[in-house]
Structure 1
Amino acid sequence: MNIVIIPARGGSKRIPRKNIKDFCGKPMLAYPIQAALQSGIIDKVVVSTDDQEIAAIAQQYGAEVPFLREPELADDYTGTTAVIRDAILRLQQLGWSLDSCACLYATTPLLNANLIRALQQELITTNADYVFTAARFSFPIQRALVLTETGGIIPFDSTSIGKRSQDLQPTFHDAGQLYWAKAATWLDLSKSVFGTHSRLFELPSHLVQDIDTPDDWRRAEYLYRLLQQESA
């Protein structure tokens, strides 16, 4: 069975209730659920939440909530991998036979069904531990600047500050959207999402947007509407 697990706790601080806040006419959580179901390769979409309202909205849009997450796994410090491992173990205890499992974040309205399929295919063809979405830094991080305690400026990397951008190694960051792996890989504590046996799937910058502040939210809405216009 191939499944998607969406972590969606109720205690968002910077944008309260952002997992179910209205985004262009639907609760934010509806977008990843619908994208996963439309991909045609997902047997079940599971939402891991500690919140009854989030659970009800998840079920309304076609996801399953076979359990409520324990409070100690829904605080500000618990990492996503621990939440996914908990979900897999609980589903296995319920008798689910799991093969590939994708972690799909709740605030990913720019992600679509095609990308979900493409990343799963990348996992199959490369036999990587994990495949995840990533984006290229638009400016060379080797030429970053930092402030001193007295307000002055120094290069973050003095050996690279004078080099041309095209002479510096490209760098990437996690897009915070989608992570595919075998269920057994998620449960293997010796394997890291960002390890040498993982693969990144590069996305263009217009498909990547963290949503942590009101400004982030507005920009995500602008991008979403533009993408909808292009596909119309």
Structure 2
Amino acid sequence: MSIVAFIPARGGSKGVIQKNIKLLAGKPLIAWSIEQALASNLITRVIVSTDCPEIARVAKEYGAEVPFLRPDSISGDKATTESAMLHCCSYLKEKNEFPELFILVQATSPIRSENQFDNAILYFKKNNYDSLLTVSPSHRFTWKNPANPSASYDFTNRPRRQDIKEEDQEYLETGSFYITKTELLVEAENRLVGNIGMFKTPEDESYEIDSLVDFKVCEEILKIKNNIG
């Protein structure tokens, strides 16, 4: 089975300039996701899609393929991740290299357990899913609509964490990675389609880097997990 890990990395980050190649625990942020995908026994290719020559250079240095620079039309602030995914799928189809599975890997989620990609792929196959997202359990009580407040739980009978039933447990979509059958991805033009699976990951894998504070938090976690002094 051919499986492509696809890592989108625009050059125009607003929150943190050149975020994708900013050093994190000794290596560029994007390098963590590239190396984790390359370490998989089941992923057959690791492709980075970027509009930035410098990101392309760094990605290649760490072993990823960068077969094209992303067109400006799908590289702006309003461009969707799906547009970049579909652009890559179109490219691969033209080359007769269309994969069976397409894994969207977010470079901004650098914390992943060893073998996590392979574990998720095997889980995906075992359950015959069409698409899959990573999640982690959430124990936070959420509210919405300040003008007319409503809660995600029964506040008149506030549950204890240990008393929450499995079917009532809420999960946070981590954004770390998604797996989709490529044919269905192209048909639906969406990463989530058909029979959707939830792959549970530890809480520390839910961290996403959008700010300098996120960088500091993730750096400390990575140093501990990887015994970096």
SS in 1 for 2:151: coil
CA contact (8 A) 2:178 2:191 kept: no
C-alpha displacement at 1:94, in angstroms?
A: 2.0
CA, structure 1 residues 190+106, in 2 after alignment: closer, same or farther (shift >3 Å)? closer
Question: How large is the Cα RMSD of the aligned pairs?
Answer: 2.3
CA contact (8 A) 1:31 1:109 kept: yes
Partner of 2:115: 114
SS in 1 for 2:115: helix
Partner of 1:5: 6
CA, structure 1 residues 16+160, in 2 after alignment: closer, same or farther (shift >3 Å)? same
CA contact (8 A) 2:5 2:103 kept: yes
Partner of 2:177: 178
Further displaced range: 42-51 or 73-82 = 73-82
User: Does 2:186 correspond to 1:187?
Assistant: yes
User: Does 2:155 correspond to 1:161?
Assistant: yes
C-alpha displacement at 1:112, in angstroms?
A: 4.0
Partner of 1:128: 129
Post-superposition CA distance 1:166-187 (Å, at most 9, x none)? 4572211210111112211211
SS in 2 for 1:127: coil
CA contact (8 A) 1:58 1:64 kept: yes
Matched residues in 1 for 2:177 and 2:87: separation? 18
CA contact (8 A) 2:109 2:205 kept: no
CA, structure 1 residues 220+42, in 2 after alignment: closer, same or farther (shift >3 Å)? same
Partner of 2:93: 92
Alignment-mate amino acid for residue 176 of structure 1 = G
SS in 2 for 1:103: strand
1:31-110 equivalent positions in 2, closer than 5 A:
31-110=32-111
Alignment-mate amino acid for residue 163 of structure 1 = N
Q: Give the TM-score of the pair, scaled to structure 2.
A: 0.89
SS in 2 for 1:221: helix
Alignment-mate amino acid for residue 150 of structure 2 = F
Q: Give the TM-score of the pair, scaled to structure 1.
A: 0.88
C-alpha displacement at 1:192, in angstroms?
A: 5.8
CA contact (8 A) 2:82 2:189 kept: no
C-alpha displacement at 1:36, in angstroms?
A: 0.7
Post-superposition CA distance 1:50-101 (Å, at most 9, x none)? 1111111111111111111111211122222221111111111122141111
Query: Please, which runs of 5 or more residues in structure 2 have no aligned partner?
Result: none
Alignment-mate amino acid for residue 154 of structure 2 = S
C-alpha displacement at 1:226, in angstroms?
A: 1.8
Partner of 1:14: 15
C-alpha displacement at 1:146, in angstroms?
A: 5.6
User: Does 2:206 correspond to 1:216?
Assistant: no
Matched residues in 2 for 1:159 and 1:62: separation? 46
Matched residues in 2 for 1:7 and 1:157: separation? 35
CA, structure 1 residues 2+205, in 2 after alignment: closer, same or farther (shift >3 Å)? same
CA, structure 1 residues 18+160, in 2 after alignment: closer, same or farther (shift >3 Å)? same
Between the aligned residues of both structures, percent identity stands at: 27
SS in 2 for 1:134: strand
Corresponding residue to 1:207 among 200, 205, 208 = 205
Query: Please, which runs of 5 or more residues in structure 1 have no aligned partner?
Result: 149-153
Q: Across the two proteins, how many residue pairs are aligned to each other?
A: 223
C-alpha displacement at 1:213, in angstroms?
A: 1.2
